[in-house]
Structure 1
Amino acid sequence: MAIDLQQIGKRFRFYTNLKELEMEQLVSITGSDETTLSNIICGKNFLLDELVAIVRNFNDLNPQWLIYGEGSMFKPMDEDGNCPDGHKGCLQKDKAAYLQQMKDMLIELDAAEVAKGHHADVNALKAKLDQLKEASE
């Protein structure tokens, strides 16, 4: 299975936007430099070793989804509804405008994922965003 750096970048950008992580926070969380993080987010030349070192800092992020676009973005929650990092729920906020932004980003990912045959994954994410949007209204 070929690895597409641009798609990894789009998925990582989607994840960081969903978690409301700014570049300053990413640098602090990962200990990586801004150039490396920017290259990953933009899908430019980066080493997978750099990506793996960064991904280790996000306990709820599913690396299979990030690299290959397979499965769910988040690792499964435990029976109490906690993310793998121990926090309740995986989203910091669920404002309608914010969810709309995420939905718009999904449209961008949708074209690439459909071409790769992963339409069901994108539909599942859209359904989750719709549920969160309804709950916030």
Structure 2
Amino acid sequence: MAIDLQQIGKRFRFYTNLKELEMEDLKAMTGSDEETLSHIIYGRNIVLDELVTIIKNFKDLNPQWLIYGEGSMFKPMDENGNCHDHQKGCLKKDKAAYLKQMKDMLIELDAAEVAKGHKPDIDALKAKLDQLKATE
């Protein structure tokens, strides 16, 4: 399976937006400079070693999803239901705002995948989000 740097960038941006992480947060959490982080966020000139080093700092981020778009964005919670991200905690947004942002970002990711001729399970994810929204 080929690695698409632009898709990695979009997924990483999706994750950091969802977690409400600004560039200063990313620099502090990873110890990386702004140029390296910008290259990853915008999907250009990514050095694999730098990407791996950065991924290690996000305990809840599923690297398989980030790199290949497979599986869930987040690693499973532990058996106690605890969030893996001890530095930032769990999501700060209310559920409705979170679901709306997720849906908007899924639409953006879906458009990018369709433009490349891929048809992932985005429709299934959208249906789950609609289901969650309906249960509020």
Same fold (TM over 0.5): yes
Equivalences for residues 1-137 of structure 1 within 5 A: 1-85=1-85, 90-94=90-94, 96-113=96-113, 115-119=117-121, 122-123=122-123, 125-127=125-127, 129-130=129-130, 133=133
How far residue 77 of structure 1 moved from its aligned partner, in angstroms, is 1.0
Q: Sequence identity, in percent?
A: 78
Amino acid at match of 2:80: D
Distance 1:59 1:131, change over 3 A: farther
CA deviations over 1:57-86 (Å, ceiling 9, x no partner): 000000000000011100011222112345
Separation in structure 2 between the aligned mates of residue 116 and residue 56 of structure 1, nearest angstrom:
28
How far residue 104 of structure 1 moved from its aligned partner, in angstroms, is 1.1
Distance 1:82 1:124, change over 3 A: farther
Amino acid at match of 1:18: L
Separation in structure 2 between the aligned mates of residue 125 and residue 91 of structure 1, nearest angstrom:
19
SS state of the match for residue 25, structure 2?
A: helix
Distance 1:48 1:100, change over 3 A: same
Structure 2, unaligned runs of 5 or more:
none
Structure 1, unaligned runs of 5 or more:
none
RMSD over aligned CA atoms reads 2.5
Separation in structure 1 between the aligned mates of residue 57 and residue 38 of structure 2, nearest angstrom:
16
